């Protein structure tokens, strides 16, 4: 099954966090199939550079706006992607991070209720915390520290899911909740602290690669194009009564040390690995069970880690060269 690539008439689609890494790729796809797109971003972690090549598109409107405040527009669909997603950024202002997830969801769900728009919530694998069930299925309730350094993001997203389901049950809002696992690709913020961008930038600069813990902790990495495919297929190719949550990620599991070694190989870097203490509540393992996505929308990732990393490295070569 493939995502719908064209529409019979333009739909008005709001993308919050649209100038972010994932949001910018989603907007590209929506415009390519003929939708009218309203990109909303407060540019805390997003940047106009990510959508600069789209700014002259006649079907795109860009608005600087913080989703913790209400927004009054007319739309047919809402993709709620607004929230800093890396520890460096979401821990910079943890109160604002929680507000973005919770108040942002309330405001955007309220908009969906008023306009009868279909609503897509970008949730996260962080709702599983440091999981004791492996791989993680959607039925797993998670192992989250509600008062830890990561709780502003983890619990904020868990509350956003709660709000989605209550708006669905109480107000009949049509929702789709996706739990996104580690995603990477071009346009990642070079200083966001995420492991892929960290390792690539350090390798390209010839700096030591900082590896937290002993490197045995695992992650599963999904290339951004695969993820956007899943977004569109989930929204377009499932009945309204199927709301999720749905895991979206690549079930290929790698240790962080394997990732570091692969980045060194692909960049041709002479960087050495330096070990640092593991941060508080950092998950020891993370791997999605995507049986539901396979069964419901016929989706599974296509881009192998080596290929996706090569494309991402090419992007960061230009970023690092510009300083």
What is the model's pLDDT at position 86? 64
Q: What is the mean pLDDT of residues 202-231?
A: 94
- C-alpha to C-alpha distance for 184 and 198, rounded to whole angstroms: 11
Q: What is the mean pLDDT of residues 46-67?
A: 97
Out of 153, 167, 184, 223, which one is annotated catalytic? 153
Say yes or no to pLDDT of 20 above 90: yes
Query: How many folded domains does the chain comprise?
Result: 1
- C-alpha to C-alpha distance for 120 and 231, rounded to whole angstroms: 8
Say if 317 falls within a structural domain.
Answer: no
Say if 19 falls within a structural domain.
Answer: yes
Say if 259 falls within a structural domain.
Answer: no
Q: Which residues constitute the domain of residue 125?
A: 12-185+224-251+287-302
The pTM assigned to this predicted structure is 0.93
83-94: pLDDT as tens digits: 877 677 778 889
User: In terms of pLDDT, which residue wins out, 313 or 192?
Assistant: 313
Q: What would the two tokens of residue 310 be?
A: 């090569």
Judge whether 154 and 129 are in contact, CB under 8 Å: yes
Q: How confident is the model at residue 57 (pLDDT cuts 50, 70, 90)?
A: very high
Say if 198 falls within a structural domain.
Answer: no
Distances (CA, A) of 87 to 46, 63, 91, 132, 316: 15, 26, 6, 21, 20
We report the CATH number of the domain holding residue 146 as 3.40.50.720
Say if 295 falls within a structural domain.
Answer: yes
Say yes or no to pLDDT of 7 above 70: no
Contacts made by residues 299-304, CB under 8 angstroms, sequence distance 24+? 299/1, 299/229, 299/230, 299/233, 299/234, 299/248, 300/251, 301/222, 301/223, 301/226, 301/249, 301/250, 301/251, 301/252, 302/226, 303/223, 303/225, 303/226, 304/252
Say if 213 falls within a structural domain.
Answer: no
Q: What is the mean pLDDT of residues 163-191?
A: 96
Residues β-bridged to residue 176? 120
Say yes or no to pLDDT of 101 above 90: yes
Say if 125 falls within a structural domain.
Answer: yes
Say if 196 falls within a structural domain.
Answer: no
Q: What would the two tokens of residue 311 be?
A: 């494309």
H or E element in which residue 106 lies:
helix 94-115
Does 275 qualify as catalytic in the annotation? no
**Which residue, 220, 221, 88, is CA-closest to 152?**
88
């Amino acid at each position: 099954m493939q995502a719908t690539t064209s529409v019979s008439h333009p739909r008005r689609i709001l993308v919050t966090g649209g100038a972010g890494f994932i949001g910018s790729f989603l907007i590209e796809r929506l415009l390519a199939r003929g939708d009218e797109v309203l990109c909303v971003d407060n540019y805390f972690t997003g940047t106009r550079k990510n959508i600069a090549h789209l700014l002259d598109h006649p079907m795109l409107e860009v608005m600087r706006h913080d989703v913790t405040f209400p927004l009054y527009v007319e739309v047919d669909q809402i993709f709620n992607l607004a929230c800093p997603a890396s520890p460096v950024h979401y821990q910079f202002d943890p109160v604002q991070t929680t507000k973005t997830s919770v108040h942002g969801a309330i405001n955007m769900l309220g908009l969906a209720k008023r306009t009868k728009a279909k609503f897509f919530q970008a949730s996260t694998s962080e709702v599983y915390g440091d999981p004791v069930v492996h791989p993680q299925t959607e039925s797993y309730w998670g192992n989250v520290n509600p008062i830890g350094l990561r709780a502003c993001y983890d619990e904020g997203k868990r509350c956003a899911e709660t709000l989605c389901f209550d708006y669905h049950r109480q107000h009949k809002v049509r929702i789709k909740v996706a739990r996104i696992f580690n995603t990477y690709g071009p346009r990642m913020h070079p200083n966001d602290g995420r492991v892929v961008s960290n390792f690539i930038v350090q390798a390209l600069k010839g700096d030591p690669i900082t590896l937290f813990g002993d490197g045995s902790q695992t992650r599963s990495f999904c290339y951004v194009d695969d993820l956007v495919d899943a977004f569109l297929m989930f929204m377009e190719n499932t009945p309204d009564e199927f709301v999720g949550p749905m895991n979206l990620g690549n079930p290929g599991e790698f240790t962080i040390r394997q990732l570091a070694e692969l980045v060194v190989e692909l960049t041709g870097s002479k960087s050495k690995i330096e070990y640092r203490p593991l941060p508080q509540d950092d998950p020891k393992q993370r791997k999605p069970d995507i049986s539901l996505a396979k069964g419901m929308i016929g989706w599974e990732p296509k881009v192998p880690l080596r290929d996706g990393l090569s494309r991402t490295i090419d992007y960061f070569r230009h970023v690092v060269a510009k300083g």
